Amino acid sequence: MLKEVLNHIMKKPATNLYPAQKLQMPPGFRGKLKFYPERCIGCKLCMRDCPTQAITINKLEDNKFEAVIELDRCIYCGQCVDSCPKKALESTKDVELTQLDAHKLRVVFRAQPENNSKK
Ligand code: SF4
Ligand code: SF4
């Protein structure tokens, strides 16, 4: 045991120094979802295909929809992104989703008059 400790004591750490050093996620990584309300047509294919019922699309008014995503239910499979015919959903590389307040795991994306998107 002591020999093992001495062998490794001067070596570079095998793990990353997170969160001081952040890794770049690889291409195709599926992290937190992003919703583009201006593209959504309300077809709800994303809701139908989600295996964990983590996404809900609500109609706000004619041609205006919001997406409610439960981050604690989402398994980041990207099925909703693939199912959307209008590219209104996107997987980002955001992995920092830890929350002390569970209510913050329910994210509402809704169009805003000033910049057309809200997170
Ligand atoms: S599949 Fe796309 S266009 Fe259809 S409701 Fe979902 S986000 Fe909107
Ligand atoms: S990434 Fe998968 S689990 Fe998450 S909302 Fe989309 S379909 Fe559902």
> Residues 38-56: pLDDT tens digits?
999 999 999 999 999 999 9
What is the 54 CA–ligand 1 centroid distance (Å)?
14
What is the pLDDT, as a whole number, of residue 15? 83
The residue whose C-alpha atom lies closest to atom 6 belonging to ligand 2 is 80
What is the pLDDT, as a whole number, of residue 117? 46
Among 29, 34, 35, 52, residue to substitute to test ligand 2 (most atoms within 8 Å of Cβ): 52
Among 32, 33, 74, residue to substitute to test ligand 2 (most atoms within 8 Å of Cβ): 74
**Main-chain phi, psi angles of 33, to 5 degrees:** -80, 150
Residues in the chain where the model's pLDDT stays below 70:
113-119
What is the pLDDT, as a whole number, of residue 14? 80
What is the pLDDT, as a whole number, of residue 116? 45
Q: Which helix (H) or strand (E) is 60 found in, with range? A: strand 55-61
Distance CA 47, CA 59 (A): 13
pTM for the whole structure:
0.82
Under 8 Å CB-to-CB from 61, ≥6 apart: which residues? none
The residue whose C-alpha atom lies closest to atom 7 belonging to ligand 2 is 50
Closest CA to 31 of 119, 77, 95: 95
Q: What tokens does 118 get? A: 């809200």
What is the pLDDT, as a whole number, of residue 40? 97
| Residue found under tokens 């919001």 | 66
